[in-house]
Amino acid sequence: MLIYLLIACDRLEDKQEKKLRQNLPELQAALQAYAEANAAYDVILINECESDDCEDWQLGISHPVTRNTHLNFPVDLFNGLAEQYGIDCEVGYIQDGAREPVSYFGKHEGKGEAFLIAEYLGL
């Protein structure tokens, strides 16, 4: 199963959007480093932040998983980013090129639990 984890960039309050814009280089660097470190596992960076409007941004990773334990590292990564940068995250699966969200977690949504997310994904 191909999953994705994205930083929630839509429906942000002005203060949240400003903070996201300020932290964008650090977030991009952290996600790039994770993708490069896990390239052997076909982890791919999603970095579509060219628009002036944060709502149009897509920033995160895609990650193939076959077992629920494969979710531990990416969920831990995004939990850490949420704590450090005050962001929320979206997780879901990719089927036929379309993303389908199954859960949200982070600063405002609460800490992500890999086991529960695996249940939502049907792993």
Give pLDDT, residue 12.
82
**DSSP secondary structure string for all residues of 2-23:** EEEEEE--SS--HHHHHHHHHH
Give pLDDT, residue 101.
96
Q: Binning pLDDT at 50, 70 and 90, where does residue 11 land?
A: confident
Average pLDDT value for the chain? 94
Give pLDDT, residue 90.
96
d(CA 5, CA 59): 8
Q: What is the pTM of this model?
A: 0.93
Which is higher by pLDDT, 12 or 53? 53
Give pLDDT, residue 81.
96
Give counts: helices (H), strands (E), the chain.
3, 5
- pLDDT tens digits, residue range 78-114? 999 999 999 999 999 999 999 999 999 999 899 999 9
Which is higher by pLDDT, 4 or 17? 4
Q: Do strands 44-48 and 2-7 pair parallel, antiparallel, or not at all (unpaired)?
A: unpaired
* Beta pairing partners, 105: 89
d(CA 24, CA 79): 16
